[in-house]
């Protein structure tokens, strides 16, 4: 290795040089954020897309084909209806866990790029369903706007809702 090679290697590996890192084929400084598999594979994904679109003008959304088929259909319908450019790719990013990336209209460099939510995962796949009083109060306390996406509990419904049943089934499966 020559002195020039050593010099270039040191300069290219220094932290102050802009790296050309990509997530799902998009340079990191073009991204607004990305979404992981845990969030994208739920029916609540349209809620999160809506919130992101309110925050930042997005040029296009790139979605991994590894996403569940019914969620892909949901996304195609939602994005087409809302006139958002999107494309599917056969890739996802193993390092970050990104399954969907949002390309910003203007270059943005954010410190935290993973889109995170304070909403417990047990609620994400049950958007639009009826909740019991306890679950509704819990989600309303966490995020009142998201709670509006559920049907309010009625006096004549059973005390246990779909979220309670799923939680109970998951506990039973754990002990089998």
The domain segmentation of the chain, as residue ranges, is: 19-104, 121-175
- The answer to pTM > 0.75 is no
One pLDDT digit (tens) per residue for the chain, 176 residues: 555 555 444 544 434 344 457 777 777 777 788 888 888 888 888 888 888 888 888 888 999 998 889 999 999 999 999 999 999 988 888 888 888 888 887 766 555 577 778 888 888 888 888 888 888 889 889 988 888 888 877 766 556 788 888 777 765 443 33
Kindly indicate whether the domain formed by 19-104 is annotated with CATH number 3.40.50.2300.
Answer: no
Residues 72 and 66: their CA atoms lie apart, in Å, by 9
Report the 10 Å Cβ neighbour count for 119. Answer: 19
Using the CB atoms, write b or e for 17-49: b if 16+ within 10 Å: eeeeeebbebebebbbbbbbbebbbbbbbbbbb
């Amino acid at each position: 290795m020559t002195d020039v090679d050593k010099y270039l290697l040191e300069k290219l590996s220094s932290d102050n040089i802009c790296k050309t890192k990509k997530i799902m084929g998009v340079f990191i400084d073009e991204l607004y954020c990305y979404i992981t598999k845990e969030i994208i594979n739920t029916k609540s994904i349209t809620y999160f897309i809506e919130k992101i679109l309110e925050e930042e003008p997005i040029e296009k959304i790139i979605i991994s084909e590894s996403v569940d088929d019914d969620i892909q259909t949901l996304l195609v319908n939602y994005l087409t209806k809302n006139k958002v450019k999107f494309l599917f790719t056969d890739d996802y990013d193993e390092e970050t866990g990104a399954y969907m990336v949002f390309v910003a209209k203007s270059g943005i460099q954010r410190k935290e790029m993973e889109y995170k939510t304070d909403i417990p995962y047990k609620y994400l796949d049950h958007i639009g369903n009826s909740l019991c009083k306890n679950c509704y109060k819990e989600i309303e306390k966490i995020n009142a706007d998201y709670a509006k996406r559920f049907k309010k509990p009625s006096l004549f419904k059973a005390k246990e809702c779909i979220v309670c049943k799923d939680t109970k089934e998951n506990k039973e499966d754990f002990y089998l």
